[in-house]
């Protein structure tokens, strides 16, 4: 630890929630290196039993965990509770994924020998978590890594350190040794030190594309260190002909404004075929205007809480104004009701006439609408991005969805459901600037262990038959 103190504030109130010293990265990694081999040597069944005890600990303390997530991340309590439920469910899903993705195999290799496939843990894994799902997303990396026999050094977002600290305490309480899973408190400097540390064998990152690219560059000359990057998206929802426009509007709202638009899978662009544009906007705009924005712990529960901090709120307001200035037409004005706190109402802008629309991830409740003449043009527009995480088609026929699925460049492609809410029982990841082809969720097991191929005989039997003098 150092003398530097990190302080966390509740976004909804501005009040201090937590404070603690910044961690010593070298000490944490050194301790993990000492501990991981003994953890890996434990039977798999024992590691799984301990992690199931972790799930039971979280389930027992679900109310206090959800309250902490709601306060520190600013998300409504109903949503925080669903996040904690996902943490509990993660263990059984990860156990199943480990068995399926990294199972042992033996087969005949001929001449009295056999071949085997087994998997080994990498060693010490660095996990860097985000603020938007401060419990669920880190657990999506940590739980599979621990099952595989790795040690983990986890750095939560500097915006949600209290949740990270509580999460690690739950692992310890369940029986994971203190040096096998550690919480490193700090900001960008500690994150950079953890990524570059020679004692870490892999980096499992979820966060912004800028940070992900920086990690990729830093480790480009070090192919021995595994790097798995989950980054953001400029995600499209495409709407074509459908009689169910009220349902379409609800799907769009869930895609764009859940978690105050602070999900990597949140819809940033709404691409609408002209034939349904007017009728869809007549449903969407009034629905978005009705969304309650308020205190995460308030009653009745709001649909949205604040964004994570005032800097983020200011940047989003500036982006809204910039799009209007560039030729966008406001369909629903984003507003900031309390200048001292980061509460934003949903904003919807028609940017069809904006030249050179920015291909960036606006991480908040701001939706850009683009009108197009037909579905083929919509698909082309949807692919007009360097990102490739999530995409949804609303409406159309099975043949339309088949064409959409075949041509959209994304790792998650949906039909008549939101871009958000991906299942942990499926792989989660994207292409382009959204990731580096190492998906998480069900495929996180692939990032936690490497395959080892063996050919084996119970006794040495060999002879040189050619090229030997008699």
Sequence-ordered alpha helix ranges (H) in 258-374: 274-290, 310-325
Take residue 259 and report the two structure tokens written for it.
């978690």
Find the helix or strand (DSSP H, E) in which 336 lies: none
Element of type H or E holding 368: strand 366-372
Q: How far apart, in whole angstroms, are the C-alpha atoms of residue 266 and residue 268?
A: 6
The question of whether 230 is a catalytic residue gets the answer yes
DSSP 454: E
Q: What is the DSSP letter of 259?
A: G
CA distance 55 to 441: 17
CA torsion sign, 319 to 324 to 328 to 329?
positive
- Is 46 among the residues known to form the active site? no
Question: Per-residue b/e over 406-426, b at no fewer than 16 CB within 10 Å?
Answer: eebbbbbbbeeebbbebebee
* Cβ-contact 276, 246 below 8 angstroms: no
Hey, how many other C-beta atoms are within 10 angstroms of the C-beta on 358? 14
Name the β-bridge partners of 235.
267
Spatial distance between the Cα atoms of 468 and 470, rounded to a whole number of angstroms: 6
**What sections of 291-394 are H helices per DSSP?**
310-325, 375-382
Q: Which one from 72, 158, 179, 264 is the annotated catalytic residue?
A: 264
Query: Looking up tokens 């915006």, which residue turns up?
Result: 159
Listed residue (158, 188, 141) closest to 72, CA to CA = 158
Conformation bin of residue 261: beta by default, left when phi > 0, alpha when psi is -120 to 50: left
| Total number of residues shown for the chain | 470
Long-range contacts of 316-322 (CB under 8 A, 24+ apart): 316/344, 316/347, 316/362, 316/363, 316/364, 316/365, 316/366, 317/344, 319/362, 319/366, 320/347, 320/349, 320/366
Active-site annotation holder among 230, 283, 361, 381? 230
**Which segments of 15-114 does DSSP mark as H helices, in order?**
25-41, 44-60, 62-73, 77-101
Task: Say if CB 150 and CB 60 are below 8 A apart.
Answer: no
Distances (CA, A) of 199 to 68, 103, 151: 32, 27, 11
**What residues are labeled active site?**
230, 264
């Amino acid at each position: 630890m150092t003398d530097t103190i990190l302080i966390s504030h509740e976004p909804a109130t501005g009040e201090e929630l937590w404070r603690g010293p910044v961690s010593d990265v070298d000490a944490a990694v050194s301790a993990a290196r000492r501990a991981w081999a003994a953890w890996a040597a434990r039977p798999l069944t024992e590691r799984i039993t301990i992690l199931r005890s972790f799930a039971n600990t979280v389930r027992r303390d679900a109310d206090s965990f959800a309250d902490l997530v709601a306060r520190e991340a600013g998300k409504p309590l109903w949503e925080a509770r669903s996040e904690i439920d996902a943490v509990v469910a993660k263990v059984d899903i990860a156990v199943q994924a480990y068995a399926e993705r990294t199972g042992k195999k033996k087969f005949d290799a001929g001449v009295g020998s056999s071949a085997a496939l087994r998997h080994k843990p990498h060693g010490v894994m660095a996990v860097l978590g985000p603020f938007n799902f401060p419990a669920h997303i880190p657990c999506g990396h940590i739980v599979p890594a621990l099952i595989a026999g790795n040690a983990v050094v986890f750095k939560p977002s500097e915006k949600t350190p209290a949740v990270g600290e509580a999460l690690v305490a739950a692992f310890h309480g369940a029986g994971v040794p203190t040096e096998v899973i550690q919480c490193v408190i700090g900001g960008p400097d500690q994150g950079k030190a953890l990524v570059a540390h020679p004692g870490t064998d892999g980096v499992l990152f979820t966060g912004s594309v800028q940070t992900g690219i920086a990690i990729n560059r830093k480790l480009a000359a070090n192919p021995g260190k595994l790097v798995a990057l989950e980054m953001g998206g400029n995600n499209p929802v495409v709407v074509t002909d459908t009689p169910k426009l009220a349902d379409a509007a609800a799907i769009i709202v869930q895609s764009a404004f859940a978690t105050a638009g602070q999900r990597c899978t949140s819809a940033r662009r709404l691409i609408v075929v002209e034939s349904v544009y007017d009728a869809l906007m007549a449903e969407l705009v009034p629905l978005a205007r009705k969304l309650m924005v308020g205190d995460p712990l308030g009653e009745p529960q709001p649909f949205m809480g604040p964004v994570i901090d005032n800097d983020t709120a200011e940047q989003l307001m500036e982006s809204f104004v910039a799009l209007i200035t560039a030729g966008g037409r406001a369909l629903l004005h984003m507003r900031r009701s309390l200048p001292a706190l980061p509460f934003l109402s949903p904003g919807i802008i028609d940017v069809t006439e904006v030249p050179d629309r920015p291909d960036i991830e606006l991480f908040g409740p701001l939706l850009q609408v683009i009108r197009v003449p037909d579905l083929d043009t919509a698909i082309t527009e949807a692919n007009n991005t360097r990102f490739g995480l999530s995409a949804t088609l609303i409406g159309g026929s099975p043949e339309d969805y088949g064409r959409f699925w075949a041509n959209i460049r994304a790792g998650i492609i949906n039909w008549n459901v939101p871009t958000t809410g991906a299942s942990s029982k499926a792989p989660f990841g994207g292409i382009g600037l959204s990731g580096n082809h190492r998906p998480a969720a069900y495929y996180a097991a692939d990032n936690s262990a490497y395959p080892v191929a063996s050919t084996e005989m119970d006794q040495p039997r060999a002879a040189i038959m050619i090229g030997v003098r008699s």
